[in-house]
Amino acid sequence: MNRIIHRGKLRKWDDDRGFGFIKPNDNTRTVFIHISALKGMPRRPVVGDTITYEIVEETNGKIRAVHASIEGIAIQNQQRTSQRHSHKSGYDIAIRIGYYILILLVVGSVFIFIQSNGPSTSPPILTAIRKPGCIIKGNISISSGNKIYHLPGMEDYDSTVIDPGKGEQWFCTEDEAMSQGWKKAPR
């Protein structure tokens, strides 16, 4: 079946209702056009536009335009539409990733807070951070407030927890600890 392409001027257009009428260039009878016949157009038609179209005859004898376009206006092709959708999908993915990162940050913060403030017997996560090779624990006594340091092998070394948030710290040498005002633990 051969497709016959017609041309005509849009003589009437009701934008609110999405339809209008084309006066064909060959002066045949007026053709009805609905907005759905203009798929892929970047704008709606206006009176005076030249429209290219095919004709379909309805069962009641009326004719209407199909596969129409506004002359001089490029049809947005499927590839451009797909790119727009993939951009939106990429945006949605970025939003989801941001949401999951936010959840991880909140959960991680709560976990660290519980670790550093809760009744745990294990050292808080942040207190385990120290310079490599620095194994002397600088601890502040809860009862006296004295600054004391513990060497590996001393009685309380393994149970001593270092909390930098309370001013406690790790030292690399005894001299370093003593020069900063820390005293050696008695046991």
pLDDT tens for 138-176 read: 999 888 889 999 999 998 898 898 988 889 999 999 999
For 53-82, give one letter per residue: b (16+ CB within 10 A) or e: bebeeeeeeeebbeebbbeeeeeeeeeeee
Mean pLDDT across the chain: 83
Q: pLDDT digits over 53-65, tens only?
A: 999 988 888 899 9
Q: What is the pLDDT of residue 153?
A: 92
**Whether the predicted pLDDT of 24 surpasses 90:** yes
**Whether the predicted pLDDT of 118 surpasses 70:** no
Residues 6+ apart with CB under 8 A from 110: none
68 and 51 in contact (C-beta within 8 Å)? yes
110 and 78 in contact (C-beta within 8 Å)? no
34 CB neighbour count, 10 Å cutoff:
14
**Whether the predicted pLDDT of 113 surpasses 90:** no
Q: Which residue has the higher pLDDT, 76 or 85?
A: 76
Residue 167: closest CA among 132, 141, 133: 141
Average the pLDDT over each of 47-51, 79-83, 92-96 and give the range with the smallest value: 79-83
3-class DSSP assignment, residue 19: strand
Mean of the pLDDT values across residues 81-104? 70
Q: Which residue has the higher pLDDT, 80 or 10?
A: 10
Q: What is the pLDDT of residue 137?
A: 93
Cα separation, 105 vs 111, whole angstroms = 10
Q: What percent of the chain has pLDDT over 70?
A: 83
31 and 44 in contact (C-beta within 8 Å)? no
pTM of the model: 0.41
Q: What is the DSSP letter of 123?
A: P
Residue 74: closest CA among 38, 46, 48: 38
**Whether the predicted pLDDT of 52 surpasses 90:** yes
Q: Which residue has the higher pLDDT, 79 or 103?
A: 103
Mean of the pLDDT values across residues 79-96? 59
16 and 45 in contact (C-beta within 8 Å)? no
Residue with tokens 């601890």: 139
H or E segment and range at residue 54:
strand 50-57
Is residue 45 very low, low, confident or very high in pLDDT (cuts 50, 70, 90)? very high
Q: What is the pLDDT of residue 77?
A: 62
Cα separation, 130 vs 136, whole angstroms = 10
